[in-house]
Amino acid sequence: MRVISYVPRPEGKEIPGYIEIVSWEELLQTSDYISLHVPGGEKNQGIISKKEFAMMKKSASLIQVSRGGVVDEEALAEAIRNSQIRGAAVDVFSEEPPQKDNPLLKLEQVILTPHIGSNTVECMDRIALDVAEDVHLVLSGENPKHPIKR
């Protein structure tokens, strides 16, 4: 299996050897599955919209687990209805909970989850370990690895 990724600024990032870095356009044009893991914010709002869906393979599926608003949900629904892409899995929405008239709710080719993508046994175990380590650090007079920022 070929694993490709688009990384806007790869300098200084540890990228496993099995991942091939490609351009945004190549990622969209050649991927069978596109999994989004980007931060929210204005910079990434609507980075996947009509233009990007038009570049994708008809057999492509989109996995949206980043932040709401990163994907234009109307454009996603339209791309699926028009067979521009095969389907999608969506864990985050522009508006949560999604409104009853959200077009993604009516499509059989879309798997929907209620913003629980990180709710796995492995993730919860890791969170518990991180919290325990930080408590130990603080009680030992050191700074925590994951401080709460206000």
**Domain span holding position 42:** 3-116
112 and 126 inside one domain: no
Same domain, 16 and 49: yes
Claim to verify: residue 77 and residue 127 sit in the same structural domain: no
* 136 is annotated as an active-site residue: no
CATH number at residue 96: 3.40.50.720
User: Alpha-carbon distance 64 to 129, whole Å?
Assistant: 27
Per-residue pLDDT of the chain (150 residues; tens, 9 = 90+): 899 999 888 788 888 999 999 999 999 999 999 999 888 888 888 999 999 999 999 999 999 998 889 999 999 999 999 999 999 999 989 888 888 999 999 999 999 987 776 777 888 888 899 999 999 999 999 999 988 877
DSSP state of 23: -
SS (H, E, C) 41-87: CHHHCCCECHHHHHHCCCCCEEEECCCCCCECHHHHHHHHHCCCCCE
Catalytic residue (one of 95, 96, 133, 142) = 96
Phi, psi of 60 (to 5 degrees): -75, 150
Is 115 considered catalytic here?
yes
